Structure 1
Amino acid sequence: MEDREFENPYLIPKNIKARFELIPGFGWREIFVTLAGAIVGFMLLLLLGVFGIPIIVRIFLAVMCAGIGYGISVQNPRTGVNLLDILKMMRQFNARPKRFYYVFGEGRERD
């Protein structure tokens, strides 16, 4: 009983959500967006094959679609934000009402 008086309580941290990352900044969401771009590129490759487009052009377009998917989903190393998140934040910002309480500069009229 005497031992319990001198015990220090252990602080147990809350569960931390850790997301899977294949490489730093590239997790499941980014993999799915890149695969979606690759699938669209593959479908484009098959569709353009029906019209007799040369294989080099079709492969180039398929790789470009996968590259666009990768470019949209990869995070900027400086900010840690990808293009999809930037577009989402921009849309949320544009949806908010904006009020400007001050008029700066000389000769400007209030609206």
Structure 2
Amino acid sequence: MYLIPKNVGGRFEFFEGFGIKELIYCALSALVAIGLSFFIGLFTSSLFRFLPVPFIVYATFMLVRIDPRLGRSLLENMVTINTFNGKPKRYDYVYGEGRIERV
């Protein structure tokens, strides 16, 4: 019988809740944001075209970072909520059925 401490994780993390998968998502969002800034650069020559890059990367970071309390990311929670809301809800109770009429 081996005793494994609770704080041992099964995946490599740079810091709590941010591992290789999250780093890849942030890198991809950075590439998309830089591409967007170069597209904006076709219409303007201002350096403010690079302003959206850190905001887009930070938004991606907040979406994919795993909350250590829940063990899930915000993106996973949003997908779960969307899946739940997309399924039909079934209510067996019909209003008026089985009621006792009081006169």
TM-score (structure 1 length as normaliser): 0.67
1:4-28 CA-partner distances (Å, limit 9, x unpaired):
xxxxxxx368xx9711111011112
Answer 1 or 2: which has greater strand percent.
2
Amino acid at match of 1:75: I
Larger Rg: 1
Q: Which one of the candidate residues 17, 23, 41 is aligned to 2:33?
A: 41
> 2 CA distance for matches of 1:17 and 1:79?
15
> 1 CA distance for matches of 2:44 and 2:9?
50
Question: Quick one: percent identity of the two aligned structures?
Answer: 27
2:100 is matched with: none
Paired residues for 1:33-72 under 5 Å: 33-55=25-47, 57-72=48-63
Q: Is the 8 A contact 1:37 1:67 kept in 2?
A: no
Amino acid at match of 1:96: K
The count of aligned residue pairs is: 93
1:89: Cα distance to partner? 0.8
TM-score (structure 2 length as normaliser): 0.72
Give the root-mean-square deviation of aligned CA atoms: 2.6
Q: Is the 8 A contact 1:37 1:66 kept in 2?
A: yes
Q: Is the 8 A contact 1:41 1:64 kept in 2?
A: no
Asked if 1:90 corresponds to 2:81, the answer is yes
2:15 is matched with: 23
Q: Which runs of 5+ in 2 are unaligned?
A: 98-103
Q: Which runs of 5+ in 1 are unaligned?
A: 1-10
